[in-house]
């Protein structure tokens, strides 16, 4: 016989009623199997259902883990593809400015051509045009960070910003780095590898010189070269890397709008009255460092801290995996219950996402379930049919 003292504690009446109601089953075991088999659930996979399934899984009920996995993957199916939109496009340097920067260098050479470029001409041009060094680095396929790192290894630290101020020794260092790439003097670090150089130089003539750069500057490059460059470097990848934080900021603003609509007051690093992250930490973190994804702390009716809200955007599974590893440590470190907003296509099919749902007791949301997050923050109980996560997404 089974020892009743060792039996798992029973699921609460509230959670049992919810599971039976949403599945239309007559007993709990059948209800859990129904969800695990991906059968239709009334109202879809809501966070209320997730909370009930977390409770069932914590009690070790048969089929509860499988049911939770199915529900979590449906509820976390964010449709925001961060590759489809661009932000901060006003920060993009237009082509004519790069063209002007290279012309400023050429005008200061003895022949008025980049074929006779030297460090002195670069320094004189940079003094008049703060984009010169950046443009010169891009000629060699090197970002500002690349230039700084390579110069640092040569014992010549560069200014914190490409605008300077510049010393002559720093200009000489940068020019030497770029010149080695352009003239083909760089050597690969791995046997049978090829040292990284710009596509137009790597596939160009066997002779490498600044005359090739001058020909490209004055004669232009083909549209095919541009397409080949996109193929090896992908369109907009560098810009997206620079503006990742802006996408997160825009999602935080959407979150704050949902909280306002639900009548929830908060402190946040964004919005009309932003506070320092250290202030949020003082309200929400019991110990350890403040997670960078801590974006808001909601307040109860009496003004006291209520929930810590964390926001993360992940297009790919690798980013989701790394962020999840951080988030899974937080329940023990936070002084408040956590609400997690996961946005991006990288989350739904990760095993770590299932663990997050369990670690945060079902309080995990996407951009589609922001009304449900705001309702939770307002300590309201919303009917399942007000949620916007649809069970049909599960089959996709």
Digit-coded pLDDT (tens) for 184-209: 998 888 888 888 888 888 886 666 89
List the strands of the sheet with 265-268, edge to edge.
Answer: 265-268, 294-299, 305-313, 338-343, 364-365
Number of domains in the chain: 2
Domain that holds residue 186: 90-235
In this structure, the answer to whether residues 196 and 59 fall within a common structural domain is no
In this structure, the answer to whether residues 107 and 79 fall within a common structural domain is no
* CA angle centred on 341, ends 395 and 293, rounded to 5°: 140
Of all residues in the chain, the percent with pLDDT exceeding 90 is: 56
pLDDT at residue 3 tops 50: no
The answer to the question of residue 1 being in a domain is: no
pLDDT at 6: 53
In this structure, the answer to whether residues 252 and 378 fall within a common structural domain is yes
Cis peptide before 133 (omega within 30 of 0): no
pLDDT at 380: 67
In this structure, the answer to whether residues 95 and 59 fall within a common structural domain is no
Domain boundary among 235, 266, 299: 235
pLDDT at residue 353 tops 90: no
The answer to the question of residue 386 being in a domain is: yes
Q: Report the SS3 class of residue 220.
A: coil
Please state, as a whole number, how many other Cβ atoms lie within 10 Å of the Cβ of residue 379: 12
pLDDT at 394: 34
pLDDT at 231: 81
pLDDT at residue 389 tops 70: no
In this structure, the answer to whether residues 40 and 124 fall within a common structural domain is no
Highest mean pLDDT among 78-92, 212-226, 341-355: 212-226
Domain boundary among 187, 212, 235: 235
In this structure, the answer to whether residues 128 and 54 fall within a common structural domain is no
Domain boundary among 200, 235, 270: 235
**108 pLDDT band (50/70/90 cuts)?**
very high
Name the DSSP letter for residue 98: H
Phi, psi at 342, each rounded to 5°: -110, 120
Please state, as a whole number, how many other Cβ atoms lie within 10 Å of the Cβ of residue 90: 5
Query: Are the C-beta atoms of residues 380 and 94 closer than 8 Å to each other?
Result: no
In this structure, the answer to whether residues 123 and 199 fall within a common structural domain is yes
In this structure, the answer to whether residues 186 and 252 fall within a common structural domain is no
Mean pLDDT of the chain: 86
Mean pLDDT for 107-123 is 96
Please state, as a whole number, how many other Cβ atoms lie within 10 Å of the Cβ of residue 144: 14
- Closest by CA position to 267, among listed 341, 257, 258, 277: 277
Highest mean pLDDT among 72-86, 162-176, 347-361: 162-176
Query: Are the C-beta atoms of residues 270 and 254 closer than 8 Å to each other?
Result: no
pTM over 0.75: no
Q: Which helix (H) or strand (E) holds 341?
A: strand 338-343
Q: Which helix (H) or strand (E) holds 228?
A: helix 223-233
Q: Work out whether the CA dihedral 158, 159, 164, 165 comes out positive or negative.
A: negative
Q: Which helix (H) or strand (E) holds 312?
A: strand 305-313
Please state, as a whole number, how many other Cβ atoms lie within 10 Å of the Cβ of residue 199: 17
pLDDT at residue 76 tops 60: yes
Spatial separation of the C-alpha atoms in residues 132 and 125, rounded to whole Å: 7
pLDDT at residue 387 tops 60: no
Please state, as a whole number, how many other Cβ atoms lie within 10 Å of the Cβ of residue 169: 12
Q: What would the pLDDT profile of 263-285 be if each residue is shown by its tens digit? A: 999 999 999 999 999 999 999 99
Tokens of 363: 């309080």
Spatial separation of the C-alpha atoms in residues 119 and 334, rounded to whole Å: 54
Which residue reads 């919303």 in tokens?
Answer: 382
pLDDT at residue 392 tops 90: no
* CA angle centred on 242, ends 334 and 314, rounded to 5°: 45
pLDDT at residue 243 tops 80: no
Please state, as a whole number, how many other Cβ atoms lie within 10 Å of the Cβ of residue 75: 30
Query: Are the C-beta atoms of residues 393 and 73 closer than 8 Å to each other?
Result: no
In this structure, the answer to whether residues 160 and 213 fall within a common structural domain is yes
Name the DSSP letter for residue 12: P
pLDDT at 265: 96
In this structure, the answer to whether residues 188 and 254 fall within a common structural domain is no
Name the DSSP letter for residue 285: B
pLDDT at residue 9 tops 50: yes
Residue that wins the pLDDT comparison between 265 and 83: 265
pLDDT at 374: 94
pLDDT at residue 149 tops 50: yes
Spatial separation of the C-alpha atoms in residues 331 and 307, rounded to whole Å: 12
In this structure, the answer to whether residues 172 and 75 fall within a common structural domain is no
pLDDT at 206: 61
């Amino acid at each position: 016989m089974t020892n009743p003292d060792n039996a798992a504690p029973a699921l609460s009446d509230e959670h049992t009623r919810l599971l039976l109601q949403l599945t239309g089953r007559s007993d709990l075991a059948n209800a859990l199997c129904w969800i695990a088999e991906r059968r239709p659930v009334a109202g879809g996979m809501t966070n209320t259902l997730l909370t009930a399934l977390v409770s069932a899984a914590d009690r070790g009920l048969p089929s509860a883990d499988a049911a939770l996995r199915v529900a979590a993957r449906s509820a976390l199916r964010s449709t925001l593809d961060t590759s489809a939109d661009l932000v901060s496009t006003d920060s993009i340097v237009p082509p004519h400015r790069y063209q002007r920067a290279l012309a400023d260098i050429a005008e200061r050479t003895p022949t008025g051509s980049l074929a006779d470029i030297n460090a002195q001409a670069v320094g004189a041009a940079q003094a008049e045009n703060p984009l010169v060094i950046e443009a010169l680095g891009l000629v060699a396929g090197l970002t500002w960070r690349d230039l700084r790192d390579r110069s640092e290894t040569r014992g010549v630290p560069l200014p914190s910003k490409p605008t300077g101020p510049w010393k002559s020794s720093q200009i000489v260092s940068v020019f030497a780095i770029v010149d080695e790439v352009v003239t083909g003097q760089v050597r690969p670090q791995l046997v049978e590898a090829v040292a990284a150089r710009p596509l137009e130089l790597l596939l160009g003539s066997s002779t490498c010189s600044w005359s090739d750069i001058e020909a490209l500057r004055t004669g232009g490059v083909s549209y095919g070269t541009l397409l080949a460059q996109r193929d090896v470097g992908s369109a907009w990848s560098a810009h997206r890397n620079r503006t990742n934080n802006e996408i997160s900021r825009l999602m935080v603003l959407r979150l704050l709008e949902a909280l306002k609509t639900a009548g929830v007051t908060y402190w946040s690093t964004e919005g009309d009255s932003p506070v320092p992250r250290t202030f949020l930490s003082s309200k929400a973190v019991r110990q350890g460092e403040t997670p960078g994804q801590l974006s808001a702390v909601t307040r109860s009716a009496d003004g006291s801290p209520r929930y810590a809200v964390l926001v993360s955007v992940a297009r790919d599974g690798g980013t989701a995996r790394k962020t999840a590893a951080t988030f899974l440590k937080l329940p023990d470190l936070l002084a408040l219950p956590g609400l997690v907003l996961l946005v991006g296509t990288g989350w739904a099919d990760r095993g770590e996402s299932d663990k997050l749902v369990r670690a945060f007791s079902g309080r995990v949301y996407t951009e589609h379930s922001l009304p449900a997050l705001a309702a939770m923050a307002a300590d309201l109980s919303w009917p399942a049919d007000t949620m916007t996560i649809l069970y049909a997404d599960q089959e996709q």
